[in-house]
Chain A
Amino acid sequence: MTERRKLVEVRDLKMHFPIFGGILRRQKGAVKAVDGVSFDIYEGETLGIVGESGCGKSTCGRAVLRLYEATAGSITINGQDIATLGQEELRKRRPMMQMVFQDPQASLNPRMTVAGIIGEPLDEHTDWPRQKKLERIYELMDAVGLNRDFANRYPHAFSGGQRQRIGIARALALNPKFIVCDEPIAALDVSIQAQVVNLLEELQEQFNLTYMFISHDLSMVRHIADRVAVMYLGVIVELAPVQALYDRPMHPYTEALLSAVPEPDPSAARRKDRIVLQGDVPSPANPPKGCNFCTRCPKVMDICREVPPETREVAPGHFAACHLLDQDQTTGGTGGRGSEHNQRLIQQGEDA
């Protein structure tokens, strides 16, 4: 492969939401939604972000686009330091970086027609004549599989999946370079999921787009991503090329995640060996001492409750943060079929 260019560079990003309490409403703590993450995204690639609900994926995506003011850390996009940019400069850069939101309903203005919503970024950032805008709007509607005849309807008249496509069309309006897709397909049926993913891939090829693709659908992430970062409670616990991550997960959390994917086959689904995580899910306002995953890890050791593990490169481009890797680097990690000590496998019988 030729030398790839980094389009996005994030270093030690933190996003803490203050918690206020008491009669004086003084700050008494913080929700550490994102607590020191670093990663790069290369031009033209897709970085998948997976992880448990509430682990900070959306917050991370929003902070990267500066929809939140980050608590700490640096963000560089296309050579430009985004974190310190002034408002006007930031506005000028907006067309280049877009977001498809997780909650389609909440992000669509109920008083605007679909054409108005999709065309809003065009009104804001171009001085095209009406007709040209309208053509672009139709083109976008075709691209995401929305019937043109729906252009003058309002968002409430659409199903959940149709609304999500409106959001995607709007994000594509200005030909961005970098798009953060926050669960863009969760609300869609599988055929339309496939349509949208194919579309995202076609656009990527055509315009060399770069995606940060947040999703909990591990099968889809496997399909679309080049590399995948696994988040747990505000930190990245593993980051690897997609093949390596699915074939040789190094972090016990990644293993548990992969084992829990439901299979679309009624007889296989009820017999599968699933690692069911036990123990308390810690709160990001009060993360455990040591490794964030220590309260639920099936392979927890004493050191895990004391010292946070460091991220190390266990194979080329394959990063993981786990104390197990300190010891048995030679055996190629914790993963795999061989080392199932201490792991709780639930055999789900036919009677389930």
Chain B
Amino acid sequence: MPDGAVPVLEVKDLKTVFRVRGGEIHAVNSVSFDLRAGELLGVVGESGSGKSVTMMSLLDLLPSPPAEVRNGTVMLGDRDLLKVDAETMRSIRGGEVGFIFQDPMTSLNPVFTVGFQIMEPLRSHMGLSKAKARDRAVELLELVGIPDARSRLKDYPHQFSGGMRQRVMIAIALACDPKVLIADEPTTALDVTIQAQILELIKDLRQKLGMAIIWITHDLGVIAGIADRVMVMYGGQVVEQGPVREVFANPAHPYTRALLQTMPKLHGARETKLRVIEGQPPMLGRHPESCPFRDRCGHAFDRCAAENPARRQLGENHDVACHWDHREGKP
């Protein structure tokens, strides 16, 4: 895809901590990445690895306290999102940057109708009249495959199925033609046919609007199908990053390799038991001084405990944070 294109979003050294009773949770540790115009960056990683917290930190969406963004810069064009005032942030959110939350039930307000919640940003960000906003809302709901859209505008979120609520979230995020779309598990509640339809829609919008997209998902099939690049997170860090074909063909980090092996298959013999990555996720109680994956890693050696590996370049655009040299098969 657009190689060498200018980054629309550049994140450097982001660090987010939660203060909780009895200590701190270091959820995001020195995360850096960029997103180029028109590109789709897939983000995968263990549950609890900091994917959502990273993205929510960018848009000041975390409750503070307990959350505290301790370090980093987030450049959207020439503005640092960590420094803009609340007013500017509000106009960026839902305007230039669309956001789809992981949990559709909590991000839709149960006391307002679905129609109101889609029309609201259209009226406040785009200044549409009520009638225009309603027409656009219907159009958006049809785009994400909600049948009988006009008559469902007056329904409340609980009257929608899980997947329909998720599609409402997608419609809201797309309402104002964002430049950047951050989608956190946007299709987990969708069946494959609707998911395919949404993915086609997203591809289409990318082409038409040049929208750049961050897509968080557990579904490696989806990543394989639509992402240009993939970023793998573990224990609050980026452990590998590269073009999607390259990472799937030559995964460099032991966690990435384990992840690719745990997928159940649609074809071939049924596995009697699914493969899992043994062991527990890291506790995140302190800033990590050693490799967060070492307790579960088959290759760990003394250096992994002594020093948290920095990201090193493997090839063009492909990097990994691991002391083990997977190509040489030695430390």
The residues of A with any CB-CB pair to B shorter than 8 Å are 17, 31, 50-54, 58-59, 102-106, 145, 147, 149, 153, 156-162, 183, 186-195, 197-198, 201, 216, 218-220, 222-223, 246, 256-258, 260-270, 274, 276-277, 280-283, 285-286, 352
Contacts and interface: CB of A to CB of B under 8 A. Distances in A.
Contacts of B281: 147
Contacts of B118: none
A54 B47 contact: no
6 contacts: A50-B191, A59-B161, A159-B49, A190-B218, A190-B262, A264-B223
Given A54-B161, A194-B262, A281-B145, A261 B192 contact: yes
Contacts of A188: 47, 218
Interface string B191-206: 1111111001001000
A281 B47 contact: no
B245 A153 contact: no
A263 B33 CA distance: 26
A153 B222 contact: no
Interface residues of B, number: 73
B264 A147 contact: no
Interface string B232-248: 00000000000011001
B52 interface: yes
Contacts of B44: 189
A280 B142 CA distance: 10
Contacts of A268: 224
B265 interface: yes
Nearest to B163: A53
B328 interface: no
Interface string B273-290: 111110011010000000
Contact of B103 (A105, A218, A263): A105
B189 interface: yes
Contact of B164 (A50, A53, A158): A53
A303 B106 CA distance: 44
B65 interface: no
B18 interface: yes
Interface of B: 18, 20, 25, 44-49, 52, 63, 66, 102-106, 145, 147-148, 151-152, 159-164, 166-167, 185, 188-197, 200, 203, 218-225, 244-245, 248-249, 258-260, 262-266, 270-271, 273-277, 280-281, 283
B194 A52 contact: yes
Contact of B224 (A50, A52, A260, A262): A262
Nearest to A150: B283
Q: Quick one: which of A51, A256, A269 has the most chain B CB within 10 A?
A: A269
A216 B20 contact: no
Given A52-B194, A188-B47, A223-B271, 10 more contacts: A50-B191, A53-B163, A159-B49, A183-B162, A187-B102, A189-B46, A195-B276, A197-B274, A222-B264, A264-B223
Contact of A266 (B151, B162, B248, B280): B248
Given A17-B159, A261-B221, A194 B103 contact: no
Contacts of B161: 53-54, 58-59
B218 A51 contact: no
Contacts of A260: 192-193, 195-196
Contacts of B189: 53, 102, 183, 186, 216
B246 to A, nearest CB: 9
A218 B218 contact: no
Contacts of A267: 245
B259 A190 contact: yes
A303 B221 CA distance: 38
B260 A160 contact: no
Contact of B264 (A17, A201, A223, A265): A223
Contacts of A183: 162, 188-189
Given A105-B103, A160-B47, A216 B192 contact: yes
A162 B20 contact: no
Contacts of A194: 262, 264, 274-276
Contacts of B196: 260, 262, 274, 276
B217 to A, nearest CB: 9
Contacts of B195: 216, 260, 262
Q: Which 8 A-B pairs have the closest CB atoms?
A: A53-B163, A161-B47, A262-B221, A283-B148, A194-B274, A216-B191, A260-B192, A269-B225
A350 B167 CA distance: 28
A105 B188 CA distance: 14
A222 B270 contact: yes
B188 A186 contact: yes
A171 B289 CA distance: 38
A201 B224 CA distance: 29
Nearest to B275: A194
Contact of A159 (B52, B148, B151): B52
B203 to A, nearest CB: 7
Contact of A262 (B46, B225, B277): B225
Contacts of A256: 193
